[in-house]
Structure 1
Amino acid sequence: MLAWMAALSLGWLALSSPLDTTWNWLFAGCVVTAVAVAIVLVGRRARARRDAAAAVLAAIDASLAALPGDIRSNTALVLVLGDSPDTLTRAFGDAVVRITDAAIWVRIDASDRLAEVAAVLKQWRLGQGPEAVACLVSADQAEVSSTVSPAPSPALSPAMATTLWQWRSTIGAASRAVGYPLPACLAIQTAEADGPSDDCPWFQIATTPQGGDMLDALALQLASYAAQVQPADRAARMYRGARLAALARWTIDTVLPALQQDQPDRRHAGPPLSLWACAVIATAGAPVAGSRLTMYVTRQTSLAPQTRDGRRAAFPLPDALARGLAVRHAQSVLPRALAHGFAWLCVAFCAAAAASAWQNRALVARVMADMAHYETLTVERDAARRDALAVLRRDREELDRHARNGVPVRLALGFYRGGTLREPLARLIDGYQPPPPPPATIELDSLSLFRSGSATLNPGSNRVLIGALDMIKAHPDKRVLVAGHTDSTGNAQANVRLSEARAASVRDWLADAAALPLTHFAVQGYGATRPKASNDTVAGRAANRRVEITLVPDCRDARGGDPATPGHPACSFPSKE
């Protein structure tokens, strides 16, 4: 199960995780480490259980070696706890296992090992766990009272109370270890010095009725028991019955509440026990005079305590009670493991579906945000439009790849919606139109800007330059070439200087009006070297006197160089012929 959970976790991280690759590797390392540690701990726990139950398993194998093979599965297996080592010794002697007609009785010397032994015995019986736990109580143990007079209170001694609370805790732990609640059988024994010649049977106390109903049912059993003999033995049986009735009341008033009721002052105690049987019996032996039970029985019955010394008889196992104990069926671990594996698979699928839904939502939101951003850009912001268009093309390539190669697992599981975005993406990309190219040249008549032979702008020349200024502002990414031209009248060198001076004047006005640095402009004086018309006519000479303003690409955009030196042509500006 641990390996299966680790495989599901690593598969989710590899195929469905929305996290970054670094985080995926980090979590994968944590998963592998945690599972490795858990496997080591589970292995140690299993070895500890096997070691704790090794002696019990060896004794069971030795005891069952000579019996038929089906005895293991057809006979009830009962784990036996005792309130003291002496109680278990009187019940088992030196043996660990006793086999009777009704059950296989397994001795548990340390109650804190009950869970380990129960789990290992379930494996030994191939999935068929123990049927019950029997709790043996020697009621008249040496619980010497601090008072001289008989104690009227039926309260438990601290040692007995601690033992009962430990049984609740250990039986609860054993129930969790085997996977089902283990029923408990409470067998309480008292000693009698002078009893009838026959052996005393077990007298059962009902565990479902309360108070007087229990005692009334027991009284009927004791009356029937006393009436079944000759008058010579009837007195001894009546004496035994009175003591057993007092023992039953003591059990109902003290022992059963400690096992079956919540104990707010004992939080470490386990859950209340489910008793399938509770019985009392009297055996040969002398009761301890100072025990709480002896004093309680004396107070309840007014019978003199029996204090004669004598050897205590063996503690008979409650074989008669075990005859009605149903044998459990073997439970294979495979169906339970498959159920747990399927449950974890469902959890992993839900986690993968949640991750897929989240990533598909993020994909749709991202593509739609890219499309909305592109649509907000106007034609004048063509550079930003081209950048947004490149993002849209990457989005379309991603969606086309999903359509061509299949949707990846992280986006699949029925949540993929990227296919519906391909068509609107294609429409936006195919609908892109570059802005119209800027006019190649704006030509200005020199006579409208300057007086004859002057390079100073006329006062009314602003209106003529407004069109050129608007063109420059509309294309801030272009550099500006201002070229001056003259006719052929006069000295050629003087004409070149005049044309360059006029270009510089126009350049200065445009730079100031557009708030652009002078490095954004270049000036060129051509004189009469580039006529548009013949200089032989008045109209031709007027056409040749002009200033041309041209937008050209910035050489720094293509070559990453420095801007052109002010007053000189840029690398992309036309040069003199």
Structure 2
Amino acid sequence: MRRLTGYPIRTLFVWFSALVLFWLGACSPWPAAWNTGIAIAVVLADCIALIVVTRRIRAQLAASRQVLASIDGALQSLPGDTRRNTPLVLSVGEPTGVLTQAFGTDVVQITDTAIWVRVDEPTRLKHIADALKRWRDGQGPDAVAYLVDADSAVDDAASTASTRHWRTAVDEASRAVGYALPVCVAIYAGEAGIGSRAGPEACPWFGVSGALPPDRQALADQVANTACAHGRWVASEDRLRWANRVTRLDASARWAAETVLPALADGGRGARPINLAGFGLTMAPGHPSSASLVGRYAVAITGLALSAPSGMRTRLPLPDALLRGIALQPIRRASPRALAHAFVGLAAAFCAAAVASAWQNRGLVTRVQSNMARYQAIPAARDAARLDTLATIKHDRDELERYARMGVPPRLGLGFYRAGALLPSVNTLIASYQPPPPPPSMIELDALSLFNSGSAVLNPGSNRVMFGTLEMIKSHPNKRVLVAGHTDSVGKPASNQKLSEARAASVRDWLADTSGIAPSHFAIQGYGDTRPKASNDTDAGRAANRRVEITLIPDCRDEQTTDSPPGQSACSFE
């Protein structure tokens, strides 16, 4: 048996999944956790789809294996092009009735007109139709022949339900092969006067093939008119028998037009319209029954009495004549359609990658420009904030230099990368940074502006003098503060020493209270008259020596050793 080829749906599932995974890994603007979760979901969905499709393909092979083996065996002695040049028709109907009478035990019948394939179950029709399309290298079945034994139908509900089941099966088969399968309705009416071996000449088909009139009543009239016209060629001694046959044909045609065709046309919501391409009747050897649906219908409209029920027992002819107006189906290979779908998937993935790249490039440019603008908006006095923003800008600079050196990654590529033009501006901005001037090592306060002579109590209004000192302390929170008092040489050295210490303590207390900084952040020292900065022999010199010095020093408490003197609160005050 030939190897089946068809639409590579499993390959396309893997292809689409690979495109999605590549996009998630190389182009996605989403967080890594999202990409990982989506990738896992895609892989699981792909595995489930592959399992479902594989099971469906196996079911299709199981349903069509016998049919394809029979076709191969029947065509072995025929020319090789018979597969494409001979109409292939799927024959459906009641498996224990009309199909058995038309095919016997065979699955395939080959006539001078077509290859007829028997399908017993509606659920197998779509699988066999798709398998035959693969077997014919993309040329699907040319028609579906619905064979109806008019005299075997005795229950209207059961007959309508059976017709609708086959109509649903035809719709599913049409979806499987990708086009609306032409449907021929063949009605067999029994007649006792026909011999069991009568040929096509004795039992001709009367009907329409190709373009059918939309009105069902007009279709029945056309069949009856065709039968009447055929009566002109009947011998005179057979005219009476032929008149009875025309009456039976007319009744059967009208019954089929009012019951069978509406059931075929009613596909329900979502079903495509039936492609009715043939309708015909023939008289076959048998005994018409008054208990059948068509018998009761004929009695009602003609008044003819019929015999007791008796089913057909001879081989029924296949409706070759109904295929004359149906053209062969063109070849519809699956590979061009699959390649087109694969290209559409690739184009969609490229568009998604381009959109993601444009989005991320816009975000990169906006981020770099925003960092530069934020840095330029920070005043020079806030050096710590400027340094933090400058570190972010240096990180941006390193990223841009890496892209310039090693190439732009796929998530930023595709011709949308524009951040490279920002690199010179970023380098210029980084190079323009100037650290603030170092803080003054010491602020000197005139003691006369703070205290009265010989007093350690701050004068009212002296706080105006110390506000500059307070700002300096607040702008350097990582520095400790040493407050040192000095006096001139007037008076006893011991008194001068105590006065200098008291004045330093008063300044320390004011600074701590006003700034909210803990007093432990300060250290005090009194030097008395031991460190004059000018000569004490003159009034100007003595005035210069009466001072309070405030110095910022590193906080090195963590660096103190066990050898540090008890009570020492700073590294060194020498």
Same-fold call, TM cutoff 0.5: yes
**206, 215, 228: which one pairs with 1:203?**
206
Tell me the equivalent position of 2:570: 570
Report the alpha carbon displacement of residue 384 of structure 1 after superposing the two structures with TM.
1.4
CA distance 1:230–1:559, change in 2 (3 Å): farther
Tell me the equivalent position of 1:254: 259
Tell me the equivalent position of 2:70: 59
Structure 1 position 319 matched with structure 2 position 324: no
Structure 1 position 232 matched with structure 2 position 237: yes
Equivalents in 2 of 1:339, 1:569: separation in Å? Answer: 83
Q: Which residues of 2 match residues 134-173 of structure 1 at below 5 A? A: 134-141=145-152, 143=154, 157-173=156-172
CA distance 1:484–1:191, change in 2 (3 Å): same
CA contact (8 A) 2:191 2:283 kept: yes
Equivalents in 1 of 2:326, 2:234: separation in Å? Answer: 30
The one-letter amino acid paired with 1:70 is D
Report the alpha carbon displacement of residue 336 of structure 1 after superposing the two structures with TM.
0.8
Structure 1 position 47 matched with structure 2 position 58: yes
CA contact (8 A) 1:189 1:283 kept: yes
The one-letter amino acid paired with 2:56 is R
Q: Deviations over 1:525-559 (max 9, x none)?
A: 22334332334555434333322122334447x97
Equivalents in 1 of 2:36, 2:304: separation in Å? Answer: 80
Equivalents in 2 of 1:311, 1:5: separation in Å? Answer: 55
CA contact (8 A) 1:286 1:312 kept: no
Tell me the equivalent position of 2:84: 73
CA contact (8 A) 1:523 1:568 kept: no
Question: What number of residue pairs does the alignment pair up?
Answer: 555
Tell me the equivalent position of 2:275: 274
Equivalents in 2 of 1:2, 1:308: separation in Å? Answer: 56
Structure 1 position 483 matched with structure 2 position 516: no
**246, 268, 284: which one pairs with 1:241?**
246
CA distance 1:243–1:555, change in 2 (3 Å): same
CA contact (8 A) 1:259 1:272 kept: no
Tell me the equivalent position of 2:369: 368
Tell me the equivalent position of 2:527: 526
Tell me the equivalent position of 1:547: 548
Structure 1 position 10 matched with structure 2 position 21: yes
CA contact (8 A) 2:480 2:555 kept: yes
Equivalents in 1 of 2:310, 2:405: separation in Å? Answer: 98
Equivalents in 1 of 2:158, 2:351: separation in Å? Answer: 53
Tell me the equivalent position of 1:192: 191
Report the alpha carbon displacement of residue 214 of structure 1 after superposing the two structures with TM.
2.6
CA distance 1:270–1:383, change in 2 (3 Å): closer
Report the alpha carbon displacement of residue 226 of structure 1 after superposing the two structures with TM.
0.8
Equivalents in 2 of 1:396, 1:123: separation in Å? Answer: 60
Identify the range of structure 1 (455-464 vs 92-101) with the bigger mean alpha-carbon deviation: 455-464
Report the alpha carbon displacement of residue 228 of structure 1 after superposing the two structures with TM.
0.5
Report the alpha carbon displacement of residue 43 of structure 1 after superposing the two structures with TM.
1.2
Identify the range of structure 1 (113-122 vs 482-491) with the bigger mean alpha-carbon deviation: 482-491
Report the alpha carbon displacement of residue 212 of structure 1 after superposing the two structures with TM.
4.9
CA distance 1:220–1:289, change in 2 (3 Å): closer
Equivalents in 2 of 1:50, 1:195: separation in Å? Answer: 42
Report the alpha carbon displacement of residue 182 of structure 1 after superposing the two structures with TM.
1.0
CA distance 1:13–1:409, change in 2 (3 Å): same
CA contact (8 A) 2:190 2:287 kept: yes
CA contact (8 A) 1:285 1:311 kept: yes
Report the alpha carbon displacement of residue 113 of structure 1 after superposing the two structures with TM.
0.7
CA distance 1:547–1:55, change in 2 (3 Å): same
- The DSSP-based 3-state class of the residue aligned with 1:17 is coil
Tell me the equivalent position of 2:295: 294
CA contact (8 A) 1:382 1:435 kept: yes
Q: Which runs of 5+ in 2 are unaligned?
A: 1-11
Equivalents in 2 of 1:346, 1:560: separation in Å? Answer: 70
Structure 1 position 22 matched with structure 2 position 33: yes
Equivalents in 2 of 1:200, 1:428: separation in Å? Answer: 100
Q: Which residues of 2 match residues 28-39 of structure 1 at below 5 A? A: 28-39=39-50
Equivalents in 2 of 1:471, 1:270: separation in Å? Answer: 86
The one-letter amino acid paired with 1:199 is A
Q: Deviations over 1:74-123 (max 9, x none)?
A: 21111110134121111011111110111111111112111111112222
The one-letter amino acid paired with 2:234 is V
Equivalents in 1 of 2:14, 2:560: separation in Å? Answer: 59
Structure 1 segments (4+ residues) deviating >6 Å: 558-561, 564-567
CA contact (8 A) 1:488 1:535 kept: yes
Structure 1 position 221 matched with structure 2 position 219: no
Tell me the equivalent position of 1:435: 436
Q: CA RMSD in A?
A: 2.8
Q: Deviations over 1:160-218 (max 9, x none)?
A: 10111011100111111112211111100100112598512000146224255334433
The one-letter amino acid paired with 1:108 is V
